[in-house]
Amino acid sequence: MTAVVPWETGNVFGPKTAVSIKGDAVGRLMKAAKRPLLVVGAKILEEEVDGSSMLSYVVDLSNSGQIPVVATAHTLKPLSNAGIQPALMGLVELTDRLRDSGWSLDGKGPHDLIIFAGITYRLQSQMLSTLKHFATHLKTVSLDRYYQPNADFSFPNLEQNVWIENLQKIIQALKPQ
Amino acid sequence: MESDFEKLGPTPKPSLTSLRDWDMKLLSRYKPFYAPVCDQCCLCTYGKCDLTRGKKGACGIQIHTQQARTVLLACTIGAATHTAHARHLVDHLIQKYGSDYPIALGNEVNVEMPHARTVVGIKPRTLADLGYICGYVEQQLTHCLSAVSTGQEANYLDFESKAFHAGMLDHVAMEAADMAQIVTYNFPKGDAKAPLTHIGTGVLDLAKPVILSIGHNVADSVEIIDYMEKHNLGHPSETVEVAGLCCTAQDMTRYHEQAKIIGPMSHELRFIRSGISDVLVIDEQCINTGSLVEAQAVKTPVLAVSEKACYGLPDLTERKVEETVEALTTYRIPGALVLDPEKVGAIATLVALKTASTRQKYKVIPDSSTLSRLAASCSECGKCERECPINLPIAEAVYAAKRGDLSKLSQIYDLCLGCARCENGCVHNVPVHSLIVGAAENKFRAMKHMLRVGRGPILDTEIREVGAPIVFGEIPGVVAYVGCANFPNGGLEVGKMAETFLKRRYIVLTSGCSAMSIAEYQSDGGRCGGPGLYEEYPGSFEGGGLVNLGSCVANAHITGACMKIANIYARRPLRGNFEEIADYTLMRIGACGIAWGAMSQKAASIATGCNRLGIPVILGPQGSKYRRLFLGRRDDGKSFDVIDARSGEKSSAVAQPEHLLYAAETMEEAIVLTAKLCIRPNDTTKGRMIKLTHFVDLSKRIYGRLPDDLSLYVRTEADIPITFKDEIVDFLEDKDWRPSQTPSIDPTLLPRLVRGS
Instruction: Determine the structural domain holding residue A168 and report its residue range.
Output: 19-174
CA distance B702 to B696: 10
Please tell me which residue of chain B has the smallest CA distance to A103: B635
CA distance B240 to B109: 36
Residue B530: per-residue pLDDT: 72
- Is A80 a member of any domain? yes
CA distance B19 to B22: 5
Residues of B contacting chain A (CB within 8 angstroms): 33-40, 50-54, 63-64, 383, 386-387, 389-391, 425, 488, 621-622, 624-625, 629, 631, 633, 635, 662-666, 668-669, 673, 702-705, 708
A48 touches B: beta carbon within 8 Å: no
Closest CA of chain B from A81, distance in Å: 10
CA distance B456 to B556: 9
Q: Delimit the CATH 1.20.1270.30 region(s) of chain B.
A: 20-185
Task: Give the DSSP per-residue string, B665-711.
Answer: SSHHHHHHHHHHHT--TT--HHHHHHHHHHHHHHHHHHHSS--TTHH
Residue B452 φ then ψ, to 5°: -80, 130
CA distance A17 to B290: 33
User: Domain total for chain A?
Assistant: 1
Evaluate whether the domain defined by B20-185 bears CATH number 1.20.1270.30: yes
For residue A30, give the H/E element and its range. helix A23-32
B736 phi-psi bin (left φ>0, alpha ψ -120 to 50, beta other): left
Local structure of residue B522 (DSSP, 8 states): B
Mutation target among A99, A104, A123, A134 for the B interface, most CBs of B within 10 A = A123
- Is A7 a member of any domain? no
B53 phi-psi bin (left φ>0, alpha ψ -120 to 50, beta other): left
Evaluate whether the domain defined by B201-362 bears CATH number 2.40.10.120: no
Q: Where residue A44 falls among pLDDT bands split at 50, 70, 90?
A: very high
Using CA atoms of B684, B685, B688, B689 in order, give the dihedral in degrees to the nearest 10.
-150
Report CB contact under 8 Å: A74, B703. Answer: yes
CB B176 within 8 Å of CB B130: yes
Report CB contact under 8 Å: B36, A133. Answer: yes
Report CB contact under 8 Å: A88, B708. Answer: yes
Q: Where residue A2 falls among pLDDT bands split at 50, 70, 90?
A: low
CA distance B115 to B104: 16
Query: Would you tell me how many other CB atoms lie within 10 Å of the CB of residue B736?
Result: 7
Closest CA of chain A from B52, distance in Å: 6
Residue B543: per-residue pLDDT: 97
CB B511 within 8 Å of CB B548: yes
Report CA-CA distances (Å) from A1 to A15, A19, A21, B231, B726. Answer: 15, 9, 11, 72, 60
Q: Is the dihedral of CA A119, A122, A123, A126 positive or negative?
A: positive
Closest CA of chain B from A72, distance in Å: 8
Residue B522: per-residue pLDDT: 83
Identify which of A7, A87, A91 has the shortest CB distance to residue B386. A7
- Pick from B655, B682, B658: nearest CA to B470: B682
CA distance A139 to B67: 23
Q: Using alpha carbons only, give the angle B576, B581, B582 rounded to the nearest 5 degrees.
A: 115
Q: CATH number of the domain that A122 lies in?
A: 3.40.50.1220
CB B590 within 8 Å of CB B680: yes
User: How high is the mean pLDDT of chain A?
Assistant: 93
Residue B722: per-residue pLDDT: 96
- A-B Cβ pairs (cutoff 8 Å, strict): 126
Instruction: Extract the residue ranges of chain B whose pLDDT is less than 50.
Output: none
Q: Return the bridge partners of A139, or none.
A: A113
Closest CA of chain B from A59, distance in Å: 18
Mutation target among A9, A39, A122, A137 for the B interface, most CBs of B within 10 A = A122
Alpha helices (H) along B414-459: 421-425, 432-439, 441-446
Distance spanning both ends of chain B, measured CA to CA: 33
- Is A112 a member of any domain? yes
Q: Delimit the CATH 3.40.50.2030 region(s) of chain B.
A: 201-362, 452-748
Report CB contact under 8 Å: A130, B35. Answer: yes
Residue A176: per-residue pLDDT: 80
Evaluate whether the domain defined by B452-748 bears CATH number 1.10.260.40: no
Residue B376: per-residue pLDDT: 93
Beta carbons within 8 Å of B28's beta carbon, 6+ residues apart: B639
ipTM reported for the complex, 2 dp: 0.97
Residue A3: per-residue pLDDT: 74
Report CA-CA distances (Å) from B171 to A41, B83, B119, B163, B663. Answer: 36, 9, 10, 13, 22
